[in-house]
Chain A
Amino acid sequence: MQTLEEFRQSTRAWLEENCPASMRTAMEEDEVVWGGRQAQFKNPDSKLWLERMAAKGWTTPTWPKEYGGGGLSKEENIVLLQELQRINARQALNSFGISMLGPVLLEYGTQEQKAEHLPKIVRGEIRWCQGYSEPGAGSDLASLSTKAILDGDDYVLNGAKVWTSYADKADWIFCLVRTDFEAAKHSGISFILFDMQSPGVTTRPIQLISGASPFCETFFEDVRVPAKQLVGKLNDGWTIAKRLLQHERTMISGFGLSASNAGRKPDSASVEGVAMRVRGDTQVLSDAVLRNEIAKHKIDSEAFAFTSQRSLEEAKQSKGPNATSSMLKNYGCELNKRRYELLLKALGTQGLGWSSKDNSDFSAQELNTTREWLRSKGNSIEGGTAEIQLNVIAKRVLGLPDMPTLTKKGV
């Protein structure tokens, strides 16, 4: 048995040898690796890095070895993350398969399903998308109406999904469908997997207020899906759906953290750095009101980061993941939205460009800020709206009662 220190040394040596130099620099937006059948590697080192990490199972360090994972203990995983961070290594593979589907497959999938899908997720061979929201089922997700009707050994799917991130680039989808039309709405839903190349699947990208986006509309017309691709029990998909949402919320709550890397000197990209540059300030930000708001935001960001850390330590000390994930998701999103509002105030009219005709009106960074400001408005809508998160906190954490009239109708 290796000690942790031995593991650290061997990991460090391996990374030293195998992590290409260009993978130790800040990630460019267009070099993020998503894998899949149509995988693109703008930088050839990205491909090499993915292959090497996948061969070790370190794209999914804690998954069992039998499915291609790294088989690391929690402690070893922390060491690995620290060592990756130490050399500023890029994430080898970004994937909804890793962050969302994998954990629930490990928990609910059959032996066959795990053996079929997990190794391909580890190696980045199949790119997944999430079929949850529908035009008529947003916050009230359980009212979804995409139908799956059994016909021989297949389910036949009809319906539409919306806000399907990267549906146009994904190979497979994990999807919520209605399989019982008589039962109460939470009890007639199943969780099913299928190939996006199946006949009858079409996708259409969505243009947002901020411009182009990864979101799509996805339509299913008589799509045939083998019944064995249903995960968990028939009509028990809601349990899996909620579990997966917890993983998603944990992921989204990371948004707020980026604002909290408070070095004690303003760097040029920080809100205060931008505000001072635009105003020509050198020592103290001259707009006292904005300065107070920025300080308040940064204080909240730091307290938020402390809370994420405390939540991790509490989970370790006691029961495991708790209801604070709703609180963290919600607060993290609000912090990100506030940060962009402050950036816009900091920039003045330089934050109000849409595009740069002759490359001189607005800098790329300024234009990006404007688009990201618009995009941030979705943070408190996607993955459960702010209002839903507040409902969850009120009911599950604080134990406040339901409205009796609504409860009678089974809402």
Chain B
Amino acid sequence: MPMVLNEDQRMLLVSVRAFCQENAPVSELRRVRDEQDEDGFSRALWQQMVALGWAGMTIPEQYGGFGFGYTGLEIVLEETGRTLVPTPLLATVLLCGTLLNLGGSEAQKSTLLAKIAAGEVLMALAHEEGPLHNPVRVATKAQANADGFIITGSKCFVLDGHVADQLIVVARTSGEQDSADGISLFLVERTAPGVDVQRLDLVDSRNAANIHFSNVQVPKDALIGELGSGYSILEKVLDVARIGLAAEMLGNAQEVFDRVIEYLKQREQFGVLIGAFQGLQHRAAHMYSELELCRSAVRRAFSELDGAQEEIPVLASIAKAKLSEVLEDVSNEGVQMHGGIGMTDEFDIGFFLKRARVAQALFGDANFHRDRYACLNGF
């Protein structure tokens, strides 16, 4: 169970970091926000990332990917987390790529996975239906008819919903609301008749949309996996997403921390560098310790994704709970320890705070995952 990166992975880290610092710094997010970019990310930059192999990192070679493993994606997500650059990595690669790989038919895999790896398709997973993460709360219905299925319902906070070419919609084909049984997964064209997409304007300037489906007809082969047993796939996908997002959050927290330490060594008050004050030193030391635990939690979870896989649910909840808790604290300290300048929009630190809260809420916050951890451990 490797807790450290190997030679290849360390080389990847160096090149990914260099790329992000040079081509995708925080100013890229600022540009997207200030220009009110219609896509919410740069397609040209995404194609450069695709050319570097980032989109196909976890996709098997037979479907056009590179099979570098999840550890490769861990590195990419952490480094893009450091610069906050908006990319389709979460929605297209982490969520939909994983879902298709786990549950897709041969035909679905060979068409869509290869397109994901080649940067030729953008995808989004439409699963949430309320403001609190709850993967079994699915009221959206899919009813079988002669041509396939008719989908009706509403989804919220769909990441990259307004730019996705293809949506994967979580819908109920049987069973009660809040039941894991009877949930199915469908491929839906974003431009299909009856699909109404409302882009949201979010605090972190990243992409999400509310989507309404009214009598949307999809063919039989739009179904992913078995009818009524989509939840077992969804649960695994969400765990992969939680672990991946935790890596992004680690990058965010580490960058804030590094900037704080730099500032403590530059800023003078009362004739001394403020980093000499014990009140600040001890808070910095606490953050350092917590970040070390976060790094271990993320690393351990990724090594499970590329390894035995048995403990994925517990490790996903450990990583997401820990990162949600620590990033909240570190992002607050990031503003506080920079003082007045930390409150200004001109200064970048606020972007990290804003992204932090969105990432904390996605796929379950700290309390959600403590509850889940307790359930998984029998209390």
Enumerate chain A interface residues (CB-CB to B < 8 A). Answer: 262, 264-266, 272-273, 275-276, 284-285, 291-292, 294-296, 298-300, 302-304, 306-307, 309-310, 313-314, 317, 324, 327, 330-331, 387, 389-391, 393-395, 397-404
Q: Which of B276, B325, B366 contacts A401 (CB 8 A)?
A: B276
Interchain CB contact under 8 A, A264 and B261: no
| B: number of interface residues (CB 8 Å) | 46
Please name all residues of chain B whose beta carbon is closer than 8 Å to the beta carbon of A401 when the two chains form the complex: 265, 272-273, 275-276
Among residues of B, the one whose C-beta sits closest to the C-beta of A276 is B379
Nearest to A312 among chain B residues (CB) is B3
Query: Which residues of chain A are near B308, meaning CB under 8 Å?
Result: none
| Cβ distance A127 to chain B, nearest Cβ, rounded Å | 34
Question: Cβ of B292 and Cβ of A327 under 8 Å apart?
Answer: yes
Docked pose: A285 CA to B371 CA in angstroms: 11
Which among A273, A304, A306, A400 is the interface contact of B261 at CB below 8 angstroms? A400
Which residue of A265, A294, A391, A404 contacts B374 across the interface (Cβ within 8 Å)? Answer: A294
Does B276 contact A291, Cβ atoms closer than 8 Å? no
Residues of B within 8 A of A393 (CB): 285, 288-289
Near A by CB (< 8 A), chain B positions 1-19 give 1-4
| Chain A residues whose C-beta falls within 8 Å of the C-beta of B295 in the assembled complex | 307, 310
Bound-complex Cα distance A262 to B282 (A): 30
Complex Cα distance, B322 from A303, in Å, reads: 8
CB–CB B318/A404 < 8 A: no
- Asked whether A400 lies within 8 Å of B379 as measured between CB atoms, the reply is no
Inter-chain CA distance A400–B267, complex, in Å, is 12
Measured CA separation A264–B280 after assembly (Å): 39
| Interface mask (B343-379 → A, CB under 8 Å = 1, otherwise 0) | 0000000000000000000000011001101111111
Contact A306 to B370, CB < 8 A, known contacts A313-B3, A404-B272, A404-B276: no
Q: A264-B378, A298-B377, A303-B322 are in contact. Are A400 and B264 (CB under 8 A)?
A: yes
Shortest beta-carbon distance from B246 to chain A in Å: 11
Contact of B121 with A by CB under 8 A: no
CB-based contact B371/A398 at 8 Å? no
- Interchain CA distance A265-B377 in the complex, whole Å: 5
A238 to chain B, nearest CB (A): 23
B299 interface contact, C-beta 8 A: yes
Q: Which residues of B contact A264 (CB under 8 A)?
A: 314, 376-378
Known: A295-B374, A310-B296. 10 other contacts (CB 8 A): A262-B377, A285-B379, A296-B321, A300-B322, A302-B318, A303-B297, A390-B281, A394-B281, A400-B280, A403-B272
A306-B299, A390-B286, A398-B288 known; A291 and B374 CB under 8 Å? yes
Residues of B within 8 A of A (CB): 1-4, 261, 264-265, 272-273, 275-278, 280-282, 284-286, 288-289, 292-297, 299-300, 314, 317-318, 321-322, 325, 366-367, 370-371, 373-379
Bound state CA distance, A43 and B180, in angstroms? Answer: 56
Name the residue on B nearest A293 (C-beta). Answer: B370
Q: How far is the CA of A331 from the CA of B285 in the complex (A)?
A: 11
CA–CA, A306 to B322, complex, Å? 13
Query: Shortest CB–CB separation between residue B78 and chain A, in angstroms?
Result: 15
Closest 8 CB pairs of A and B: A394-B281, A306-B296, A295-B370, A310-B3, A393-B285, A272-B379, A303-B293, A307-B296
B residues near A303, Cβ cutoff 8 Å: 293-294, 296-297, 300, 318, 322
Alpha-carbon gap, A299 to B293, bound state (A): 10
Q: Which residues of B contact A309 (CB under 8 A)?
A: 1, 3, 296
Contacts of A299 in B (CB 8 A): 317-318, 321-322, 370, 373
Given contacts A264-B376, A400-B276, A401-B275, contact A331 B289 (CB under 8 A): yes
Give the residue name and chain of the A residue nearest to B373 (CB): A295
A272→B276 contact, CB < 8 A? no
Of B281, B289, B377, the residue contacting A327 (CB under 8 A) is B289
Residues of B within 8 A of A387 (CB): 282
Q: Which residue of A lies closest to B3 (CB)?
A: A310
In contact, B293 and A285 (Cβ under 8 angstroms): no
Cβ contact within 8 Å between A313 and B318: no
CB-CB under 8 A from B289, the residues of chain A are 327, 330-331, 393
Residues in A with CB closer than 8 Å to B378 are: 264-266, 272
